[in-house]
Amino acid sequence: MTGGDREDDREGDREEAPVPDRSAFLEQAGRRLGASLHHGRTLRTVARLVLPLLADLAVVVLPVRGRRTSWHRAGPGDTEESGQVPAEALERAPRVADAVSGVQARAAVLPARELDGLDGALPPDLDPGAQALVVQLSGNGVSSGALILVRGPERPGFRDPDIELARQYAARAGLALATAALYSQQAETTAVLQANLAPAPLPAVDGVRLGAAYRPAAHALRISGDFYHVAARPDDGVSFFFGDVCGKGAEAAVLAGLVQQTLRTLALTDSEPVRDLRLLNQLLLGEESRFTTLVTGSARPAPDGGLTVVTAGGGHLPPLILRHDGRVEEVTIDGTLVGVLPEPVFDRTESHLAHGELMLLYSDGVTEARGGPTGYEWYGDERLARTLATWWGMPAGAVAERVELLTTQWLGGRPHDDIAVLVLQAPPCPRRREDAP
């Protein structure tokens, strides 16, 4: 251990250290501890900040997870080391075990050699005369672990002012660790939701061209309440659904996951769009503010080489069809919101797409994108239809990407709602031999 040659480490100076210096230390510690929500960086900061003012060596022992516990150690010369020990090792260091579990909140001063059972958390060459102070790291009333401060024999032992300063520091450090741990858990949950709710890649199906775009709202942790799914049918063509659930963020994502899982399960049976909507409506009834807009259906190659698209809807924006002559038609689908009424009204519509014609499904994140020259104007249904009319001949994927691009440009960097786009397109007319170059 080092520190015996530092004047501020002498017993008299340490016992009578001016209160403003200690207050400044706590103030600086509060700023440093709150500078990051990354649990690993916060852990390293907790161990490093107490050196050399309070100790020559610091070890943070985290709560037990499973059958092991993690520790991080900071020592002289900016040395740091991390590791894990079996949960049983804590039983060989009962003061640390009590602090980690929250059983004993009082600080404890003891010979450092009593902590040898922590299997490497303390260095093996520790001076036999070193002294340790064990302090609970309390965060929001729950233990965030234990802080072990170690002084070599050349330094004075821990006195009441040191213990009180360590206790105040541990309270701040414990809260910082608890906050970082909570944030890490939320980040992990968000990542899992994002991975599970992100649309699956579009299938490759003969006779059907597909395109899609998907941009969750940033303010909702990039967890979207918009969703779509396309699956190849065992006979021919594809089945699909496209919707937007009520709400934002994680709550909406959970509902979107429920809706998608239900519809995918129904697709394994002899699926029929209106029947599926009625069954989903029954499932969602009785849950306050749990409803969705939805378009579901199928697209199959027609005898003339086009597509026959069957759709059923529940309160969603009407799909748009781009015809070969540049006309844009709305597909009228009567239907109430899914999950609101015990006796809903759903209808079924059949559309025919000739060679190259397409159907565009979109969420209100497109038409209600607020921006433009004033920054407050909606993109709107009419502007979308006028723009779509100029895209005849573009493949499905390019149309979907162009809708997302124009919406993003219209927003001009402003916050936006979830954006989802799905395009179903009939294959282009085969080239005649005399047309070939």
Per-position b or e across 161-184, b if 16+ CB within 10 A of its CB: ebbebbbbbbbbbbbbbbbbbeee
Tell which residue, 295, 281, 297, 307, has the closest CA to residue 231: 297
Per-residue pLDDT tens digits for 226-270 = 899 999 988 889 999 999 988 776 677 778 888 988 998 888 777
Rg, Å, the chain Cα set? 32
User: What are 294's strand-pairing partners?
Assistant: 243, 315
Give the strand pairing for 419-425 and 307-314.
Answer: unpaired
In the predicted structure, residue 12 carries a pLDDT above the cut 50: no
Per-residue pLDDT tens digits for 54-71 = 999 999 999 998 889 999
Residue 218: per-residue pLDDT: 60
**Which amino acid would we find at residue 381?**
D
Structure tokens at 335: 């239907």
Give the strand pairing for 370-371 and 377-378.
Answer: antiparallel
pLDDT: which is higher, 333 or 379 = 379
The C-alpha atoms of residue 263 and residue 284 are separated, in whole angstroms, by 12
Give percent above pLDDT 70 in the chain.
88
The C-alpha atoms of residue 262 and residue 339 are separated, in whole angstroms, by 13
Residue 288: per-residue pLDDT: 65
Whole-prediction pTM value? 0.63
Per-residue pLDDT tens digits for 218-229 = 654 556 678 999
The C-alpha atoms of residue 86 and residue 157 are separated, in whole angstroms, by 30
pLDDT: which is higher, 112 or 189 = 112
Number of Cβ within a 10 Å radius of residue 307: 27
In the predicted structure, residue 8 carries a pLDDT above the cut 50: no
Q: Which helix (H) or strand (E) holds 148?
A: strand 142-151
Q: Which of 73-77, 209-213, 282-286, 323-327 is predicted least confidently?
A: 282-286
The C-alpha atoms of residue 352 and residue 359 are separated, in whole angstroms, by 10
In the predicted structure, residue 336 carries a pLDDT above the cut 80: yes
Residue 9: per-residue pLDDT: 39
Per-residue pLDDT tens digits for 338-360 = 998 999 999 899 999 999 999 99
CA 291 to chain CA centroid, nearest Å: 23
Domains of the chain: 7-192 (3.30.450.40), 198-435 (3.60.40.10)
pLDDT: which is higher, 14 or 146 = 146
